[in-house]
Amino acid sequence: MDLKLNGKHVLITGASKGIGLACAHAFAQEGAHLSLVARDLGTLNAAQSQLTEAFPQAEVAIYSADLIDHTAAQNALDKAQARFGALDVLVNSAGAAKRTPAAELTPRAWRDALDAKFFTYINMMNPVAQQMAERGQGAIVNVIGAGGKTASPIHLPGGSANAALMLATAGMAAAFGPQGVRVNAVNPGQTLTERLKEGLQATCKQEGIEMDEALQRATAKVPLGRLASAEEIAQAVVFLASQQASYITGVNISMDGGSAGTVV
């Protein structure tokens, strides 16, 4: 299937590792021009090298920015568009809220979660959606954890931020749809990345178990019998960004292996 993404300008936040990096690989395979944004310049350089080695013809630019700061987000966007032109696709995959047991939560923890997960998306999505609307076209895909749909006692602030992003996704799709802008989200369940292992540390601490057991318990809750790979999430993102999904907007697609429909 030709997704017609060749030569399109795609900006991916959180692109230096995990699902964001998997998305970069998937878009590079389709021939897109890539602007990769993340905080850590070292991991960005490594991601750029990995992509250009795998796809020698790929055009890949990197920008280090802390997207909690809306000015930094705007600066990264401006530089990216000066390099490759107007943005065709935005993929938000930056930021992760720290998992904290409910008994240890503080007002600061709630605010930090909103900064880390909600505003890192909004600070890029807001100006991009407005610019796309002015041009009459564009696609935004947000990678939002499934914790926004199912409450977890060790992920309350982060889950709340995810739920707010799901609402923002649907709301911006309705607001900008008349101007030709599509806004969608995928909601991954637990996915095999380093971020997953970091998150499971809170589970290990709360339940007094080792990492291997935490992974086994997480897998046992999934009807498909395994956790997702980052590459599987990326394939859904690329499809939603493409013209093959031209009549899909305002949706939050669960990618949890059926976990949401089970009683555990």
Q: Given this model, what pLDDT does residue 262 score?
A: 44
Q: Are 146 and 187 in contact (CB under 8 A)?
A: yes
- Count Cβ atoms below 10 Å from residue 58 Cβ, excluding itself: 19
- Count Cβ atoms below 10 Å from residue 153 Cβ, excluding itself: 12
Q: Given this model, what pLDDT does residue 176 score?
A: 98
One digit per residue, the tens of pLDDT, for the chain of length 264 reads 689 999 999 999 999 999 999 999 999 999 999 999 999 999 999 999 999 999 999 999 999 999 999 999 999 999 999 999 999 999 999 977 887 888 899 999 999 999 999 999 999 999 999 999 999 999 999 999 887 887 788 889 999 999 999 999 999 999 999 999 999 999 998 776 766 666 666 677 767 888 777 777 777 787 888 888 999 999 999 999 999 999 999 999 999 888 764 433
Q: Are 64 and 44 in contact (CB under 8 A)?
A: yes
* pTM score: 0.90
Q: Given this model, what pLDDT does residue 198 score?
A: 67
Question: Domain spanning 9-257: which CATH class is it, in words?
Answer: alpha beta
Domain residue extents for the chain: 9-257
